A = this chain, B = another copy of it.
């Protein structure tokens, strides 16, 4: 594993780009979707099967891993890649987002966030310095700066204060990260829905300098219209030649809209979580496999899909095993959803490379709208 971290843009179509992030652990084709492997596993999947869906990179959660099994333990065991049997790139978040959601269990100061574990109540500090150290121990390839994800809704004053704290933490993250060839540190733009604050945040991040830039504080309840409004200007505030990562997004049509607006990387629990709750993403909208009308349906989830769930099982079977609470339901539906997401990303990359993104997004939206409008035999809803 020698080599360095780099980003190359191969083609553009409007504001959208397609390219490759090169790391010592392998290439990441962009636009990229990163399945979430919270606790050192992409839930209900073996890592070789996650790879088979087309994933180039996984996301790991610092908060969960620091508490269990613990970052020092993971380091002693050879790092997160070996531990979870995934030798390709891993991005870790900073833990900031999760500790903020602990509400009564955490206390924010200039230093960082003191919090109590949701597992055993033990006391911990997450700060720019400890977050960098934990992500180093995990062996993460792409490390996220420690920040505060500004809650929604926020007044402009609240958003400004929160963003400026994150920018001071971004400086400390950069300093604590040090020199780590082949590893990347990404800064995170904040500023909520306020254009001036987004501009100020971007300027401060650029002044510090990062290998990539995330757009944070979105997908927190503001809705797609408000999110797209920010994405109409925020990506262009960030360096053109570095990857742009929209954190925690999202639904398929969120991703399509964000790619059109110049975003390169995504992560979301939606495909995996939905797989466990019986929601399947298809070209014709979302299928809720729990619905009784699938009980006698000998057809596959999606006739055009080549994933194992669609190749070898009927909707009737998936309905049965989901209703019976069988583990195979989560296994097959998660696989299908991750396959769907990776096919979507591959389609976006191909379309951008061919200069046909408008056609692709048009067809994508027509299929989704048709499903929503006519309540066809296939989808139960669109999301």
Chain A residues proximal to chain B, CB less than 8 Å: 39-41, 43-46, 68-69, 73, 76-78, 83-85, 295-296, 298, 308, 312-314, 316-317, 320-321, 323-324, 326-328, 330-332
Contact = CB atoms under 8 A, between A and B. Distances in A.
A73 B313 contact: no
Contacts of A69: 295, 316, 320
A43 B45 CA distance: 14
Contact of A68 (B68, B73, B324): B324
Given A39-B321, A43-B328, 5 more contacts: A39-B324, A68-B320, A68-B323, A73-B316, A327-B331
Given A316-B69, A317-B40, A45 B77 contact: no
A41 B326 CA distance: 8
Given A69-B295, A83-B314, A43 B326 contact: yes
A320 B78 contact: no
Contacts of A316: 69, 73, 77, 83
A166 to B, nearest CB: 30
A328 B84 CA distance: 11
A296 B328 contact: no
Nearest to A76: B296
List the number of copies, as a whole number.
2
Contacts of A323: 68
Contacts of A84: 317
Nearest to A276: B327
The 5 closest A-B pairs by CB, nearest first: A44-B327, A69-B320, A85-B312, A41-B328, A39-B324
Nearest to A313: B85
A77 B327 contact: no
A77 B298 CA distance: 6
Contacts of A321: 39-41
A323 B70 CA distance: 13
A84 B320 CA distance: 10
Contacts of A85: 312-313, 317
A68 B324 CA distance: 8
Given A83-B314, A326-B39, A298 B78 contact: yes
Contact of A320 (B40, B44, B331): B40
A43 B85 CA distance: 23
A299 to B, nearest CB: 11
A314 B40 CA distance: 13
A73 B296 contact: yes
Contacts of A41: 321, 326-328
